[in-house]
Amino acid sequence: MSDFSGMTTLNPGYRALVLGASGGIGGAFVAAIKADPACGSVVELSRSRDGFDITDEASVSAAAARLSEAELKFDLVICATGALVIDGNGPEKTIKAIQADVMSAQFALNAIGPALALKYFGPLLSNEGKSVFATLSARVGSIGDNKLGGWISYRSAKAALNQITRTSAIEIARLRPKGVVVTLHPGSVDTGFSGGFSKGHDRIQPSESVAMMLSVLDRLEPAQTGGFFAYDGQPIEW
């Protein structure tokens, strides 16, 4: 288990925002952050609870506008949205199985959605001390680490997410030099996310994955912004 005991590098009383808060990993992030004595408050957004839809720009824009109107700034933003199986369609085993609409759905949720989150919630990052914006990627999104093939739509969407985050980090650093913007691989987590496709792999509980990821975020420094890291803190090649 992780020795995570709180976000010690953020300002005391820090404010957090969790997107996708009703999911297995998102809910675990909310629980862990709320349990941190240094946390001041947590704002939760999800489709099932308040209609927040990461794939709908109007929904993302409206949610960010409400927070901006309330003059809220955040020290920690977690984008915990995403899915491997969408509308019953799992990852392809071969290029022959590619379907344009299925691939579009993967990009809408796993790449374009987080891009919209960065566009609208990035400006809400605090500029007082260290701030963090983390999105959930996946090791299979690594181009250099791809030795097995398959899962073309999901892999490609996550690879796109990595580039989106990397590029956004460069821009955000110009206005927030103490900011850390990264993608994280949460590991094979025991949630309904994988739709049974993680069978045969050792899985960890959401609370354990989240504790380790928060420890990683706590250790990361602004010089590491734009990186891609595993839940144990190891960098992952692009």
Query: What would the pLDDT profile of 47-104 be if each residue is shown by its tens digit?
Result: 999 999 999 999 999 999 999 999 999 999 999 999 999 999 999 999 999 999 999 9
Dihedrals phi, psi of 44, to nearest 5 degrees: -115, 130
Q: What does each C-alpha distance from 27 to 54, 126, 170 come to in angstroms?
A: 16, 23, 29
Answering whether pTM is above 0.85, one says: yes
Q: Give pLDDT, residue 192.
A: 63
What are 101-122's pLDDT values in tens digits? 999 999 999 999 999 999 999 9
Q: Give mean pLDDT, residues 132-142.
A: 97
Residue among 141, 151, 157 at smallest CA distance from 91 = 151
Beta-carbon contacts of 2 under 8 Å, excluding residues fewer than 6 positions away, are: 208, 211, 212, 214, 215
The mean pLDDT of the chain is 94
Instruction: Compute the distance between CA of residue 100 and CA of residue 27 in angstroms, rounded to an integer.
Output: 32
The span from the CA of 122 to the CA of 26, in Å, is: 18
Residues 139-150 have pLDDT tens digits of: 999 999 999 999
